[in-house]
Amino acid sequence: MDQRSQIREFLTSRRARITPQQAGLPSHGTRRVPGLRRSEVAQLAGMSVEYYSRLERGDLSGVSDQVLDSLARALRLGDDDRTHLEDLARAAGPAPRRRRRPAPTAVRPSVRRLLDSIVDAPALVMNARGDVLATNALGRALYAPMIEAARGEVPNHARFIFLDPRSRHFWGDWERAADETVALLQAQAGRDPFDKNLTDLIGEVSTRSEDFRTRWARHDVRQHHQGAKPFLHPLIGTLDLTYESLDLSADGLTLIAYGTEPGSDAEDKLRLLAGWTATNAPAGDTSERR
């Protein structure tokens, strides 16, 4: 991943999303490209066209917080986009770039114990590349199609979603799952563009999936928060779950726990899955299948 290209394509894509009317600017004549012109972004951000052009060419080195604030306002960046812009600027900083610690590929025993203590909800731990490193018993049952598709390797969201046709029969909303997965990888690429394993993953999936390439070109970014996800589970059918994410900051990992609305059909189905798990599925985590 070329860092200057990342910056250039991100700023260009955000500029293309804003019309002059949305920005409160007059629009004259036919435009060759969608969105704002560079001169209009510069005007809105209170900077010279030359300076903004330098930024859009991929040079964010030495950019101040005030400039980032102005740029974020001009481009109407949301919280996730603003964080991504800051990550890109930090990675482009003039100070010697220290390589980040590689994304973890295992979890500590205390995290495993925490995971296993969650008995009534599916839960898993994943790293920033989307590798599922550990699950509790119910999480293993929920993610069984992805785990089985990995064939003993560490399950990865991007590989499963874009390279395995079975994923379309697992995610209740495949399009949304695909969008979110790529957006998470984009965010991580901004945080650590020098992660070779991440670069290799993106290269592998890009080479083999047009769906991935199309989404990657949008430069959408997303952080882990909370929300809802529908699943199409082979044992219990459609399952609408909510989820909460907890950052394990000491490890660079994320713990995700799923739940249901009280009294819902999903609550009954999750109980069925839990009963099946208690009877048929051994406790453990995905790392034991490597």
How does pLDDT run across 44-71, given as a tens digit for each residue? 999 999 999 999 999 998 899 999 999 9
CA distance 138 to 179: 25
Burial of 7 (0-12, 13-18, 19+ CB in 10 A): buried
Averaged pLDDT for residues 76-96: 86
pLDDT at site 290: 38
CA distance 242 to 263: 14
Give yes or no for residue 282 having a pLDDT over 60.
no
Same domain, 84 and 147: no
Query: For 130-184, how does the pLDDT look when each residue is reduced to its tens digit (9 = 90+)?
Result: 999 999 999 999 999 999 999 999 999 999 999 999 999 999 999 999 999 999 9
Same domain, 65 and 160: no
Count of residues in the chain? 290
Give yes or no for residue 283 having a pLDDT over 50.
no
Residue 100 inside a domain? The answer is no
Average pLDDT score over the chain: 90
Same domain, 179 and 239: yes
pLDDT at site 194: 84
pLDDT at site 276: 87
Question: How many other C-beta atoms are found inside a 10 Å radius of the C-beta of residue 4?
Answer: 13
pLDDT at site 278: 81
**Strongest mean pLDDT among 13-22, 27-36, 161-170, 222-231:** 161-170
Residue 103 inside a domain? The answer is no
Give yes or no for residue 94 having a pLDDT over 90.
no
Q: Which of 49, 65, 91 is the last residue of a domain?
A: 91
- Global confidence as pTM: 0.84
Residue 99 inside a domain? The answer is no
Give yes or no for residue 98 having a pLDDT over 70.
no
Distances (CA, A) of 202 to 161, 171, 207, 216, 288: 13, 21, 8, 9, 25
Please give the distance of CA 45 from its chain centroid, rounded to a whole number.
Answer: 28
Residue 39 inside a domain? The answer is yes
Q: Say how many domains are in the chain.
A: 2
Give yes or no for residue 237 having a pLDDT over 90.
yes
Residue 224 inside a domain? The answer is yes
Query: For 253-262, how does the pLDDT look when each residue is reduced to its tens digit (9 = 90+)?
Result: 999 999 998 9
Could you tell me the CATH number of the domain that includes residue 19? 1.10.260.40
Give yes or no for residue 9 having a pLDDT over 90.
yes
Q: Which of 64-78, 149-163, 213-227, 274-288 has the lowest mean pLDDT?
A: 274-288
| Domain of 12, in residue numbers | 3-91
- 141-152 burial, b if ≥16 CB within 10 A, otherwise e? bbbbbbbebbee
